[in-house]
Structure 1
Amino acid sequence: MDQALLPFGSQNNMGRFTRSCGTRRSGASTITILNNCPSTISAAILVITPSFGSGRRLESGEAWTLNMLDSSVGHIWGRTNCFFDSLGRGRCETGDCRGVLNCQDSGAPPVTLAEFALNQANNLDFLDISLVQGFNIPIKFSPKTAYGCSRGASCAADINRQCPTELRAPGGCQSPCTVFKTNEYCCVNSTMK
């Protein structure tokens, strides 16, 4: 199955997240990340299973393709206002991962996450957009498959513009859990009724 991941874009110039699902041949998938923002983004990926992390600077319209194992589980995010030296050391305003281009850890909040789990239960792939770590840029999934997999997910709202004052951060909007650290916002020790 080939996956094309196109998550980044501004509200007016929204990126597309495309997935091409087909017959599984080699037990591998391809994920392509495209920067559809009008400015430079430093894309990052952290794969939990199997363990793998990386990053790449993407100019507007530039793509980055990665080969993934079918059982891969992880997330992708865009980092903004990044500056790295020739050794890949530096900082990003949002989504920074310990000052390196090639991420080996999750990005620092606020960051919008595109999450994926490939070839899981019943050979299904799962994808979502998460704001658990806050929001920095819009992301959109738009799957395209040979067998009708076309429902996607997106967060296209301009959350930074709508962000409450107490959650505002440079380049993004923090989650209430990150700021307030209370059970009410962090879902710690909560029960469903």
Structure 2
Amino acid sequence: MAPSVNISVLFLFLLAAVGDAAIFTVVNQCPYTVWAASVPVGGGRQLNRGEAWTINVPAGTTAARIWARTGCRFDGSGRGGCRTGDCGGVLQCTGYGRAPNTLAEFALNQFSNLDFFDISLIDGFNVPMAFLPDGGSGCSRGPRCAVDVTARCPAELRQDGACNNACPVFKQNVYCCVGSANNSCRPTNYSRFFKGLCPNAYSYPKDDPTSTFTCPAGTNYRVIFCPSA
């Protein structure tokens, strides 16, 4: 005989798991088309000006990113490429995008049942972004980078009509904070450039104190491309 199951307990467990899932609404407020990307859940979607895309992200999702791709062309099978943020020449991303690209990063239901989220400019900047709580828990604070960083980008960091960060350009430990440099990683003039324009976004890998945000698990979120200043 199969072991008995307490149906009420099972139902409550499943209900709680569903309740902790998050709804992400990705909105394009740019005056041009972007091709939104989301991994590991979502893939990709063309968003014309004013359009939105809703993604249901399971509880416990980690190492997740949402970003905008620009200057894309795809054929009927979803093959092609993008000027910025390309993810291997496909509309439906399964891997991270190519720098430079502004990133919304998150991990759901982590320590103390909290979501951790941020905007990162470590891979550079291509589109202004806001990453804000959108109901579900009463949490209201999130990062914004509404400035056109590219317009002020140092010449040596300009790439494909966007602004790259120093690590992808120079590939030196002082900028990338890898290996033995990780423990002694410090801000550089390039990271200070990004931080000065977007104070609550990641500007280099150890930029945690002013760049990591948390909300209780079960919070919903809104990622806005080209938010109002």
TM range (shorter): 0.7 to 0.9
Alpha-carbon distance in structure 2 between the residues aligned to 1:25 and 1:178:
38
- Give the letter aligned to residue 46 of structure 2: R
- The separation in 1 between residues aligned to 2:134 and 2:58, in whole angstroms, is 19
Indicate the residue corresponding to 1:40 in structure 2.
Answer: 33
- For residue 129 of structure 1, what is the aligned residue in structure 2? 119
In structure 2, the residue corresponding to 1:149 is in which secondary structure? Answer: coil
Aligned to 1:68: 57
Letter in 1 for 2:36: A
1:153 aligns with 2:143: yes
AA at the equivalent of 1:174: N
Q: Secondary structure at the match of 1:179?
A: helix
Q: Distance in 2 between matches of 1:167 and 1:40?
A: 24
- Contact between 1:80 and 1:171, CA under 8 Å: does it hold in 2? no
**How many residues align structurally?**
167
Secondary structure of the 1:93 match is coil
**Deviation at residue 120 of structure 1 after TM alignment:** 1.1
From the two aligned structures, give the one with the greater helix fraction: 2
Contact residue 42 and residue 55 of structure 2 kept, 8 A:
no
User: How has the CA–CA distance of structure 1 residues 66 and 131 changed in structure 2, closer, same or farther, with 3 Å as cutoff?
Assistant: same
| Mean CA deviation greater in 25-34 or 181-190 | 25-34
1:102 aligns with 92
1:13-67 deviation digits (Å, cap 9, x = unpaired): xxxxxxxxxx9562422212111111100000012xxxx4510101111111121
Q: If each structure's strand is expressed as a fraction of its own residues, which one has the higher value?
A: 1
SS of alignment partner, residue 111 of structure 1: coil
Question: What percent identity do the matched residue pairs reach?
Answer: 51
1:143 corresponds to which letter in structure 2?
Answer: P
Q: Which residue of 2 aligns with 1:28?
A: 21
Letter in 1 for 2:28: N
* Deviation readout 1:73-116 (Å, 9 max, x if unpaired): 20100000111111101110000011100011111110000011
> Which runs of 4 or more aligned residues in structure 1 lie more than 6 Å from their structure 2 counterparts after TM superposition?
none
Q: Does 1:90 align with 2:83?
A: no
- Amino acid of the structure 2 residue aligned with 1:148: G
Matches of 2:54 and 2:16, distance apart in 1? 18
Give CA-to-partner distance per residue, 1:171-193, whole Å, 9 cap, x none. Answer: 21111011111111111222339
Larger radius of gyration: 2
CA RMSD, Structure 1 to Structure 2 (Å): 1.8
Q: Name the TM-score, length of structure 1 as normaliser.
A: 0.81
- 1:147 Cα deviation from its structure 2 partner: 4.5
- Find out whether 1:163 has 2:163 as its counterpart: no
Separation in 2, partners of 1:163, 1:97: 23
